[in-house]
Amino acid sequence: MLDLLFHNVTIPHSSERMDVGVSDGIITYLAETEDEAAIAKEVIEADGNVLLPGFVEPHIHLDKAYLLDQMEQDATNLTEAIQFTSELKKSFTKEDIRERSIKVLEKCIGYGVTHLRCHVEVDPIVGLKGMEVLSDLRETFRDQLQIQLVAFPQEGIFKQPGTADLMEKAMLLGADVVGGIPYNDDDAVEHIDFVFALAAKWNKPIDFHVDFSDDPTQLAIRDIVKRTLAYDYQGRVSVGHLTSLASVPYHEAQLIAEDIAEAGISVMALPATDLFLNGRSDQERVRRGVTPVKLLIEKGVNVSFGTNNIQNPFTPFGTGDPLDIALLLAQVAQLGTKQDAELLLDMATVHAAKAIGLEEYGIALHNQADLILFDTTNLRQILLERPPRQTVWKRGVKQRDNNSDEKMIHVAHGAEI
Ligand SMILES: [Zn+2]
């Protein structure tokens, strides 16, 4: 007998109403809806409402979320954002990082996020405090959402002596992914080489912040493509921002997009930050500063999007709801059709899952039962209305139920660092 059966749901890419059954946290039954439902301990009559796989947040910073109150002045460009954050980082404590991270994580769970990849600052200013706190939270939250940690050298690797050593230590502490940020070192190629060598040594995937500018000559992506092929790392490299590409002449951008697709590199658009910080030097015809999403998709690149920052110098906005970013990207990238709405939901789920290398993900047999039920039968309405997530399940266990007075299930706050 099934533990749980969703009777009569709408799921993406199926014109038929479906029944989805769960046993031991796994999807074990999937069939077109029959009048006679399969037998289960609990049956949810969905009346055609939409069931999505849990949202995947592929790019977020927890350790520097919610910094607005601590800032003496607001940042208006990338250099200031990095500078101000660097200054604030000096006073970060483990307790403070933990508190701000938990605030984001609890919100994300409520929005239906079941997997999240977070970039953790590793540098001589903050040391390994973020890594220590977040590896602890990765464990604490494991029944609510799965967290991947990226060892992220925000301040550059060679510009900040000691960082290379700390990156190695971050891997020892259990980082899941090697991060990089070539635009923050004088020699981007040296930076990229370091990241690939470290990733190969630990056999871990790679996630770069790359080409975050409006300068069409800043194209470290070309070197990343080359190294991806040389290291045989196709499918294991992701990049965030990639905004310079939007300023490159179209015919040239097309060729680069083709190379990215061929190297199996996933691209994550980060529109909230990119719109806020880019295009600042344009007096007229201000550029949008977001990676050319439509072109990349057209060329077969796996494109998703991320929240990136929450209420800090890089982005003084953000709630952690993937649907906020989905709507923002829809407006900016002019993705307005019914099909586009469904594409955006795919980007927040299956495309993001592919970008961060998830297995056993999505509504299909043998996958984890990470599911969100919405109070609408219409997929497009999810983007247009961004309705509250009616109920969220992680491995078949209910995390939130907006139909009852039951509050969101919180992590055991007893687990202290
Ligand atoms: Zn980022």
Q: What is the pLDDT along the chain (417 residues), one digit of tens a residue?
A: 999 999 999 999 999 999 999 999 999 999 999 877 789 999 999 999 999 999 999 999 999 999 999 988 899 888 999 999 999 999 999 999 999 999 999 999 999 999 999 999 999 999 999 999 999 999 999 999 999 999 999 999 999 999 999 999 999 999 999 999 999 999 999 999 999 999 999 999 999 999 999 999 999 999 999 999 999 999 999 999 999 999 999 999 999 999 999 999 999 999 999 999 999 889 998 899 999 999 999 999 999 999 999 999 999 999 999 999 999 999 999 999 999 999 999 999 999 999 999 999 999 999 999 999 999 999 999 999 999 898 899 999 998 777 665 444 444 333 333
DSSP state of 244: G
Cα(31) to centroid(ligand 1), Å? 40
User: Ligand 1 mean position to 152 CA, how many Å?
Assistant: 9
322-332 and 338-346 helices, crossing angle to 10°: 140
Ligand 1 center to 308 CA (angstroms): 5
Q: Is 180 exposed, middle or buried (0-12, 13-18, 19+ CB in 10 A)?
A: buried
Q: Which candidate, 4, 3, 18, places its Cα nearest to that of 377?
A: 18
Q: What single-letter amino acid sits at 168?
A: E
Say how many Å lie between the CA of residue 260 and the centre of ligand 1.
20
| 404 φ/ψ angles, rounded to the nearest 5 degrees | -115, 175
Measured in Å, residue 270 CA sits from the centre of ligand 1 at 8
* Local structure of residue 160 (DSSP, 8 states): S
Cβ proximity of 164 and 170 under 8 Å? no
Cα 210 to middle of ligand 1, angstroms: 10
Helix, strand, coil share (%) of the chain residues, nearest 5: 35, 20, 40
Ligand 1 mean position, distance from CA 394 (Å): 26
181: left (phi over 0), alpha (psi -120 to 50) or beta: beta
Find the 273 Cα to ligand 1 centroid distance in Å.
9
Contacts 24+ apart (CB under 8 A), 32-37: 33/7, 33/8, 33/9, 37/5, 37/7
Query: 232: CA distance to ligand 1 center in Å?
Result: 25
Rounded-to-integer distance, Cα 391 and Cα 401, Å: 5
| Contact by Cβ (8 Å): 232, 203 | no
With the CA atoms of 388, 390, 396 and 397 taken in that order, what torsion angle do they form, in degrees rounded to the nearest 10?
A: 80
Cα of 178 from ligand 1 centre, angstroms: 13
Separation CA 270–CA 243 (nearest Å): 9
CA–centroid distance, 49 to ligand 1, in Å, is 34
Ligand 1 geometric centre to CA of 349 (Å): 19
Q: How far is the CA of 395 from the centre of ligand 1 (A)?
A: 28
| Six-digit token string for 12 | 């993406």
CA of 90 to the centre of ligand 1 (A): 19
Q: And the tokens for 271? A: 């529109």
Distance between CA 210 and CA 248 in Å, rounded? 15
All domains in the chain, ordered by first residue: 2-53+361-401 (2.30.40.10), 55-355 (3.20.20.140)
